């Protein structure tokens, strides 16, 4: 998956610069965190799928190699700090019975998200300080400014899930990372991760039941659409009137992945 992602970068010199960094960070992150993941957290393929989407968007947006290095570091290191997830479904269910408890649950969800982002940023700094560049002994795997940018993006990478209009399109590296990460719940492995995650009842869904897949993808598309309201009144320019995508390539991938399922898009159209 990392090979295919790198092949999306057109310039051979850029690919040659990115390859050792991608290989070293992906291997270490997988060994240290991703391979130990539980179903409650996420599937270990998450970062690899996000990496592929991020390279497509970064290339289409003509990010320079320094920007692509930031994106590489963020894609592999943004979700290394696991939290116990509180879903919007759980909050909505609780709201029907006890509004006060639902409000407390929402506060707790926000606190955990912040812990997840800050913990991920700390892990990223530690790992990027620790790893040597494979071809340049004695030198860090990435320069200090790339490390700092990566940590700053990770420290806010899920703010959009807390209702904030983040990131702004002017922060192009953060925007690439955001769109690539937001596409995950539409990818087949992302939908599978949702089905496998134990729900409130403690049971995962029946992954052999096509109806569960249809329900999950409809839910995931709807949830993505709801976040568009975060940017109301900001003047940000989107690719359509309902989705959260601002880059042309992110939007193309969104339509393509959503179209895989034959589900109508939030604007009512189908691919
Ligand atoms: Fe995250
Ligand atoms: Fe993620």
Q: What is the pLDDT of residues 81-90, one digit of tens each?
A: 998 877 777 7
pLDDT tens for each residue of 145-196: 999 999 999 999 999 999 999 999 999 999 999 999 999 999 999 999 999 9
User: Residue 85: which residues within 8 A CB-CB, separation 6 or more?
Assistant: 40, 41, 197
Mean per-residue pLDDT for 18-34?
Answer: 97
Ligand nearest to the CA of 178: 2
Give the number of whichever ligand sits closest to the CA of residue 181: 2
For residue 78, the CA-to-ligand 1 centroid distance in Å is: 6
Confidence (pTM): 0.93
What is the predicted pLDDT for the residue at 102? 85
117 CA to middle of ligand 1, Å? 6
Q: Which ligand neighbours the alpha carbon of 118 most closely?
A: 1
Q: Which ligand lies nearest to the CA atom of residue 155 in the structure? A: 1
d(Cα 71, Cα 149) in Å, to the nearest integer? 9
Average pLDDT, the chain: 93
Residue 123's pLDDT band, with cuts at 50, 70 and 90, is: very high
Q: What is the distance in A from the centroid of ligand 1 to the CA of 7? A: 26
**pLDDT of res. 29:** 97
Say yes or no to pLDDT of 271 above 60: no
- Residue 130: its pLDDT value, please? 96
What is the structure's pLDDT at 53?
98
pLDDT of residue 105: 87
Q: What is the pLDDT of residue 138?
A: 94
Point out the ligand nearest to the CA of residue 76.
2
Q: Is the pLDDT of residue 269 over 80?
A: no
Give the number of the ligand closest to the Cα of residue 120. Answer: 1
Q: At what angle do helices 46-60 and 248-260 cross, to 10 degrees?
A: 140
Distance 10 CA to ligand 1 centre (A): 29
Distance 94 CA to ligand 2 centre (A): 26
Domain 2-260, CATH class in plain words: mainly alpha
Judge whether residue 201 has pLDDT over 80.
no
Q: Is the pLDDT at 200 greater than 70, yes or no?
A: no
- Residues sharing a CB contact under 8 Å with residue 119, sequence separation 6 or more, in sequence order: 80, 81
| Alpha-carbon gap, residue 140 to 256, rounded angstroms | 38
> What's the gap in Å between 157 CA and the centre of ligand 1?
6
Give distance in angstroms: CA of 65 to centre of ligand 2: 22
């Amino acid at each position: 998956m990392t090979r295919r992602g790198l092949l999306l970068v057109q310039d051979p010199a850029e690919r040659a610069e990115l390859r050792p960094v991608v290989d070293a960070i992906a291997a270490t992150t997988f060994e240290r965190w991703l391979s130990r993941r539980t179903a409650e957290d996420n599937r270990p393929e998450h970062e690899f799928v996000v990496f592929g989407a991020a390279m497509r968007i970064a290339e289409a947006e003509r990010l320079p190699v320094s920007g692509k290095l930031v994106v590489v570091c963020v894609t592999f290191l943004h979700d290394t700090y696991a939290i116990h997830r509180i879903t919007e479904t759980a909050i909505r269910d609780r709201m029907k019975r006890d509004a006060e408890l639902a409000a407390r649950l929402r506060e707790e969800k926000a606190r955990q998200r912040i812990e997840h982002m800050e913990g991920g940023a700390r892990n990223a700094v530690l790992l990027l300080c620790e790893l040597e560049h494979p071809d340049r002994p004695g030198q860090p795997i990435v320069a200090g400014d790339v490390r700092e940018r990566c940590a700053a993006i990770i420290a806010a990478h899920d703010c959009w899930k807390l209702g904030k209009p983040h990131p702004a399109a002017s922060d192009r590296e953060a925007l690439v990372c955001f769109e690539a990460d937001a596409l995950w719940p539409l990818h087949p492995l992302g939908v599978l991760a949702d089905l496998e995650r134990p729900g409130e009842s403690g049971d995962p869904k029946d992954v052999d039941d096509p109806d569960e897949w249809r329900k999950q993808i409809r839910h995931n598309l709807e949830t993505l659409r709801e976040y568009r309201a975060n940017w109301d009144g900001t003047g940000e320019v989107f690719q359509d009137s309902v989705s959260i995508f601002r880059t042309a390539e992110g939007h193309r991938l969104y339509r393509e992945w959503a179209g895989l399922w034959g589900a109508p898009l939030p604007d009512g159209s189908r691919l």
